[in-house]
Amino acid sequence: MKYRHFPAAALAAGLLFCTLFSGLTAYADDKKGELTQKQTETRQEYEAAQSALEELQNEQAQTEREVAALTGQAAELAGQITAVTDAVQNAQTVLDERQAAADAARAALDAKQAEYDARLAVCREQLRAMQRLDGGGAVWLLAQAKSLYQLLTFDAVLQQMSARNSTVLAELDAEAAALEQARAAADEAARQAADAKAALEQQQAALADTQTALEAALLDANSTLTAQQAAAQAQAAVTDAAKKAYEDATAALDAYVREQSRRYTTADLHLTSLDFRCPLDSYGRITTQFAEPDPWGIPHRGTDFAAPGGTPIYAIADGVVSAARTMNSYGNCVQVSHGTADDGHRYDSLYAHMSSIAVAQGAAVQKGDLLGYVGNTGNVYGAGGGYHLHLELRVDGSRVDPLGFVPSR
């Protein structure tokens, strides 16, 4: 009786197990979709925050350059103002000297004019004295001579007086003309000095106006810079929070991938050799090394092999496909769990950004089997669409440098 019912019981148990397993698989897939969606949302938020931060930082850098330029201009202008101020002071000194020289020339000319006027007055007094003599002046005086000697003496004296007066007056005229010329030159020099000083004062006033405007511009620039620094600081906090959320979402997705690895890494999944092969038969070059910062400053999680779109991608070792689907930033992605090696460590390899996937989850693969083709799905960077293979290698669930195990050719 028991024997007759055993198959039915076994069948029921098997159906129950399949139902539970199917439910767990569906739950795992739902969980993966939820985690992937969460990572996508947080990545987009982080990218937007990072973009806003970079824009603010660029504006801040531009304002800092403007402040530096204005500061340099202010320093240069201050030097010019100092130089012009010194020039104005020197011009005032020259003007004072030339004005003093002009004043001295006028004083000398006035003194010579007074001397000339005094000599002229003497001459006029002599003429008036002679006119006061009875009989008609000089002629009458000559007529009073008692002898030829007196006559000649009187005549000689009169001639000497006339000649002396003429000579003195001529000398005074010449000296006055020279002094008038010197005075005119001194006045012209003083006028030129005054004009030079006025021009320097005008330049000084213009520089002062420029300095006032420059100080206002510098004040505005510094105010703008202070506001930008505050905005950048606030945005940096937002970016850090978005980055943390993205990293948390990525960590959750990684946890899911590791869980998939544990799910498929059964006791009988054994890696017989660490003699890995290159995942590509040919490629252009390695564009990004493991741990190299990405555009957001996050260490790169694998090694990127640039290759034309459609280049075949092969399994680096035997194993089982523990994931084969689109995974957010990885795009079309395949994970192969290779099992535990003789060294006691568990190995998994991940191939991302495929154009298409050639295997299904749960399929057993051997080293060199086709997994998919090089593409540019997910998050990729670079010219020409960024076609490349992103290869990751995990040892006991932790990423390591693939090139420490996988040959590059």
* pLDDT tens digits for range 252-294: 778 877 888 888 988 889 998 999 999 999 999 998 899 998 7
Q: Which of 203, 208, 202 is nearest to 74 (CA)?
A: 208
- Reduced to 3 states (helix: H, G, I; strand: E, B; else coil), residue 137 is coil
Lowest mean pLDDT, pick from 81-95, 149-163, 383-397: 149-163
Q: What is the mean pLDDT of residues 150-177?
A: 72
User: Which structure tokens are listed for 263?
Assistant: 């799910």
Residues 9-20: tens digit of each pLDDT:
444 444 444 444
Q: Which of 313, 310, 316, 292 is nearest to 381 (CA)?
A: 292
pLDDT at residue 248, rounded to an integer: 80
Q: In this structure, what DSSP letter does residue 298 have?
A: P
pLDDT at residue 362, rounded to an integer: 94
Query: What's the Rg (C-alpha) of the chain?
Result: 55
Q: Which of 18-22, 100-104, 309-313 has the highest mean pLDDT?
A: 309-313
CA distance 258 to 246: 18
pLDDT at residue 49, rounded to an integer: 78
pLDDT at residue 137, rounded to an integer: 53
* Strand-strand pairing, 388-395 and 346-357: antiparallel
Residues 367-408: tens digit of each pLDDT:
999 999 999 998 776 545 589 999 999 999 899 999 999 998
Strand partners, 365: 319
pLDDT at residue 149, rounded to an integer: 63
> Rounded to whole angstroms, what are the CA distances from 181 to 211, 248, 315, 374, 409?
45, 97, 110, 100, 101
Lowest mean pLDDT, pick from 98-107, 217-226, 292-301, 375-384: 375-384
CA distance 72 to 409: 56
pLDDT at residue 345, rounded to an integer: 94
- Reduced to 3 states (helix: H, G, I; strand: E, B; else coil), residue 74 is helix
Q: What is the mean pLDDT of residues 164-191?
A: 79
With cut-offs at 50, 70 and 90, classify the pLDDT of residue 128.
low
Q: Is the pLDDT of residue 135 over 50?
A: no
Q: How many CB atoms lie within 10 A of CB 240?
A: 13
Helix axes 2-132, 148-264, angle to 10 degrees: 180
Mean pLDDT of the chain: 81
pLDDT at residue 354, rounded to an integer: 96
Domains located in the chain, CATH noted: 69-229 (1.10.287), 265-409 (2.70.70.10)
